[in-house]
């Protein structure tokens, strides 16, 4: 593992990685903690802020250009920008199953799927975590 590629990356990518790392760590905290209490809500708001930061910063990263400056990952950012507020609103409305489904979908698609894609050879996080 070497942080050299990340240190050399543009600030928007560094911010994006920091926000994604925070979201991943908070996901773990939320999954093992008791659901529905004050701590869950507070941590959930922090997680939501981290996810929104990942999505917004992702809109300014254009290392893969398939349609002009954009790629399919930018669509995922838009999905996150809509889904995170929906997750909060459904929790506030007491729709716990819908809230859990939205959050689980965000974890699987945005953190799991997109996160796994960052480990593809030639990508920055592959170089950071796996070398070369």
**pLDDT tens for each residue of 6-64:** 999 999 999 999 999 999 999 999 999 999 899 999 999 999 999 999 999 999 998 77
Full residue range of the structural domain in which residue 11 is found: 4-130
Closest CA to 59 of 19, 23, 22: 19
Residue 37 has, within 13 A of its CA and on its CB side, a CA count of 6
Counting the structural domains of the chain, the total is 1
Categorize the per-residue pLDDT at 131 as very low, low, confident or very high, splitting at 50, 70 and 90.
confident
- State pTM to two decimals: 0.91
Give Cβ neighbours of residue 131 (< 8 Å, ≥ 6 apart): 1, 2
pLDDT the model gives residue 46 = 98
Average pLDDT estimate for 96-113: 94
């Amino acid at each position: 593992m070497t942080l050299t590629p990340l240190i050399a990356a543009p600030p928007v990518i560094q911010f994006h990685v920091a926000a994604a790392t925070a979201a991943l760590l908070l996901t773990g905290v939320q999954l093992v903690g008791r659901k529905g209490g004050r701590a869950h809500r507070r941590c959930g708001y922090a997680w939501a802020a981290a996810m929104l930061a990942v999505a917004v910063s992702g809109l300014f990263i254009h290392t893969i250009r398939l349609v002009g400056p954009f790629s399919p990952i930018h669509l995922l950012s838009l999905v996150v920008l809509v889904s995170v507020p929906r997750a909060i609103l459904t929790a506030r409305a007491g729709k716990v199953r819908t809230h859990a489904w939205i959050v689980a979908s965000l974890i699987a698609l945005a953190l799991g799927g997109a996160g796994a894609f960052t480990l593809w050879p030639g990508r920055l996080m592959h170089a950071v975590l796996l070398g070369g």
